[in-house]
Amino acid sequence: MTNRGKALPFAHSRGNTGYLFICGLLIISTLFFLSGIASAAPEPVGTGQYFPQFVFADTLSRDERAYLGISAGKKFSIRNIRAAVIIMEMFNTYCTICPRDVPVMNGIASLIEKDPKLRAKIKVISIAIGNTPAEITSYKKTHGARYPILSDPKFALHRLLGDPRVPYTVIINKNKIAYTHHGVIDSSESLLDLAVRYLDRD
- pTM, two decimals, is 0.77
Q: How confident is the model at residue 81 (pLDDT cuts 50, 70, 90)?
A: very high
Q: How confident is the model at residue 16 (pLDDT cuts 50, 70, 90)?
A: low
pLDDT value of position 28 = 53
- Residue 8 predicted with pLDDT over 70: no
pLDDT tens track for 96-146: 999 999 999 999 999 999 999 999 999 999 999 999 999 999 999 999 999
Q: What is the mean pLDDT of residues 34-47?
A: 52
d(CA 26, CA 158): 32
Contact 136, 151 (CB under 8 A): yes
176 SS3 class = strand
- Residue 38 predicted with pLDDT over 50: no
- Residue 33 predicted with pLDDT over 80: no
Residue type, 182: H
Q: How confident is the model at residue 47 (pLDDT cuts 50, 70, 90)?
A: confident
CB-count exposure of residue 12 (10 Å: 0-12, 13-18, 19+): exposed
Q: How confident is the model at residue 71 (pLDDT cuts 50, 70, 90)?
A: confident
Contact 50, 141 (CB under 8 A): no
When the pLDDT of each residue in the chain is averaged and rounded to a whole number, the result is 84
